[in-house]
């Protein structure tokens, strides 16, 4: 009598149970990996957005003519009279950075000729740069500007720009007529 070796039903059921436990563990680790990747992606996106925002503010200040208006208090803001940096290909635009009261969003406003608060006929571009600002301070002293930024649950960002002097406006001097010219004019009058 030949005996055939085969798996019994119990051995097959035990092997299926072991494989299902292994697959369940693999599925759980895959789920953890997906969640980790999602969090890393969100963190990278906010970091990139923050870097773009800081770079835009830095370039706005660096390209400015030195005419800065800084208001601190309930409605924190910075207005740059003219800058060579434009996100919308405008020539020497005025740029204002301000923090809204309710949501504490940091906004960047770019346009050619506007005043705050904006009027209905103002043609400007408004970009929400950062959300939930905890800190937006600027300090200016003798050609130096210190910028401090921080949004909630994020590390603070600080940078300084030096050599930012106000642009000097050249005034034409009225030329006084020379004595010879004055005597010629008197001779012509007579």
What does the pLDDT profile of the chain (190 residues) look like in tens digits?
667 677 788 989 999 999 999 999 999 999 999 999 999 999 899 889 889 989 999 999 999 888 888 887 766 788 998 999 999 999 999 999 999 888 899 999 999 888 888 888 888 999 998 888 888 888 888 888 899 988 888 889 999 998 877 755 444 445 455 555 545 545 544 4
27: enclosing H helix or E strand:
helix 9-62
Distance CA 11, CA 9 (A): 5
The pLDDT value given to residue 97? 93
3-state secondary structure of 160: strand
* C-beta neighbour count of 97 within 10 angstroms: 24
Distance CA 95, CA 113 (A): 10
Tell me if 156 sits within 8 A of 148, measured CB to CB: yes
């Amino acid at each position: 009598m030949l005996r055939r070796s085969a798996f019994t039903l119990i051995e097959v059921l035990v092997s299926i149970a072991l494989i299902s436990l292994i697959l369940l563990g693999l599925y759980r680790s895959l789920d953890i990996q997906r969640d980790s990747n999602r969090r890393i992606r969100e963190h990278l996106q906010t970091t990139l957005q923050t870097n773009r925002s800081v770079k835009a503010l830095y370039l706005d200040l660096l390209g400015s003519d030195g005419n800065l208006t800084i208001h601190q208090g309930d409605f924190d803001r910075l207005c740059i009279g003219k800058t060579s940096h434009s996100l919308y290909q405008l020539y020497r635009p005025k740029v204002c950075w301000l923090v809204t009261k309710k949501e504490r969003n940091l906004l960047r406003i770019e346009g050619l000729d506007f005043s705050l608060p904006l009027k209905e006929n103002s043609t400007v571009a408004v970009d929400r740069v950062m959300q939930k600002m905890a800190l937006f301070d600027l300090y200016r002293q003798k050609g130096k500007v210190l910028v401090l930024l921080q949004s909630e649950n994020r590390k603070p960002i600080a940078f300084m720009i030096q050599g930012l002097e106000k642009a000097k406006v050249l005034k034409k001097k009225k030329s006084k007529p020379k004595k010879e010219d004055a005597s010629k004019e008197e001779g012509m009058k007579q």
